[in-house]
Structure 1
Amino acid sequence: MIIRELNDQEKPPMNLLLLADPSIKIVEGYLARGKCYVVEVDHEMIGVYVLLPTRPETVEIVNVAVEGKHQGKGLGKQMVLDAIQKARGNGYKTIEIGTGNSSISQLALYQKCGFRITGIDHDFFVKHYSDEIYENGIQCRDMIRLSQDL
């Protein structure tokens, strides 16, 4: 398994990115401003994350996704830890991440990786997505914001 930055000649793995964010418009927006990293096994892209600079000395992980058949094997945690390491290595002082109120597994994962809850963007998913999103039988309405100092 390798984690590497997507090069300019490669197309981003939209099938993976859309697993974590169902809006093509929003995904394309942050891909244009951030850096996309992919996880490869035997030259097959099975995971992806995007790092997006947001403020001076602050970067956000805006998408983390693992192909369905590879989920539950610790790849998400490896990608988040890799993102933290890359952010630290690039001189950022703070790393942030957000997830839906219904994303119970992701919320646990991010806290296990050292993130702390810093706030809630109420009705984020209702305002920014045309279709309702449900996960774990819960409507995804609010963005839970987390961060950690590097």
Structure 2
Amino acid sequence: MAPYHIRKYQESDHKRVLALFSSGMTEHIPATFRHMLKLPPVLLFLLGVPLAVLLVSGSWILALMSSLILFVFLWLLAKYTWKKYMVICLHTDLADITKFYLSRGGSCFWVAESEGQVVGIVCALPVNDPPLQKKQLRLRHLSVALECRGEGIGKALVETVLQFARAQDYSEVVLSVSVLQYAALALYQRMGFQKTGETFFAWISRLRNTPLINLTYRLPSTQKGSL
């Protein structure tokens, strides 16, 4: 028997849900920073600016200080989109989860609980203005506590959304995940989600070449209907 069970969100879960969501977002900042350091324009910038400062001033101290300032600046850029997304969510759908996800039809919010502690979250809501003749459900906020990963909780949460979609007669489940969310992207693709395109959350995302990967899971009933 699995050491966890999945249930609908309750108001008493709110604090833990916010903590899981926030930690899940901030853990991607180091990967974003490392990705930026590998970009050729950034490497050129990191080498060129301190060298220019050294040649102009003749001071190694100023050159080292300029290099440090550049690293701090890049770290702030790496944080920017993750923090911006967190602020948006914490002030919109996650501010009142019951009202946003449980008080209307076609949407829901689930938690995975283990030993009385919420260790995973996922939610879903209808897509506004979906493509013609399609009824789409958007999967959002999948997150599992770091210490509980590798136990199948993420997969079980996604399967819960897929079961809900079938029961609600949705034709597709869609989601967007950062190209830097390697584990999540691999999980979705193993479960049958197909890439349908790329978008950028903000101009900084485009600048550092970190797109959102758009994925779609076509439910079997839809495929049968198209034969």
Q: How many residues align?
A: 139
Is the radius of gyration larger for structure 1 or structure 2? 2
User: Aligned equivalents of 1:106 and 1:9: distance in 2?
Assistant: 27
**Quick check: 2:144–2:154 contact (8 Å CA) kept in 1?**
yes
Conserved 8 A contact 2:13-2:118: no
Counterpart pick for 1:37 among 93, 105, 110: 110
Measured in 1, the distance between the counterparts of 2:162 and 2:90 equals 21
What TM-score do you get using the length of structure 2 for normalisation?
0.55
Q: Which residue of 3, 8, 11 maps to 2:6?
A: 3
- Aligned equivalent of 1:100, options 178, 188, 193: 178
Match of 2:188 in 1: 110
Matched letter for residue 21 of structure 2:
L
- The Cα offsets for residues 39-98 of structure 1, whole Å up to 9 and x where unpaired, read as 001221010011121136211111100111001222111111111111111221110111
Percent sequence identity over aligned pairs: 24
Q: Where do 5+ consecutive residues of structure 2 fail to align?
A: 26-81, 102-107, 220-227
RMSD: 2.3
Asked if the contact 2:178–2:211 (Cα under 8 Å) also holds between the matched residues in 1, the reply is yes
TM-score (norm 1): 0.80
Instruction: Give the C-alpha shift of residue 10 in structure 1.
Output: 4.7
Deviations 1:116-147 (A, max 9, x none): 001100x31x34x8xx8xxxxxx672110001
* 1:136 alignment partner in structure 2: none
SS in 2 for 1:60: strand
Secondary structure of 2:14 counterpart: coil
Indicate the residue corresponding to 1:26 in structure 2.
Answer: 89
Please say if residues 113 and 119 of structure 2, whose CA atoms lie closer than 8 Å, have aligned partners that are also in contact.
Answer: yes
Measure the CA separation in 2 of the matches of 1:103 and 1:59. 21
Matches of 2:143 and 2:159, distance apart in 1 = 14
Q: Aligned partners of 1:40, 1:93: CA distance in 2, in Å?
A: 29
User: Residue in 2 aligned with 1:62?
Assistant: 140
Q: How far apart, CA to CA, are the structure 2 residues paired with 1:106 and 1:3?
A: 19
Contact 1:95 1:147 in 2 (8 A): yes
Larger proportion of helix: 2
With over 3 angstroms needed to count, the CA separation of the structure-2 counterparts of 1:28 and 1:80, relative to structure 1, is farther
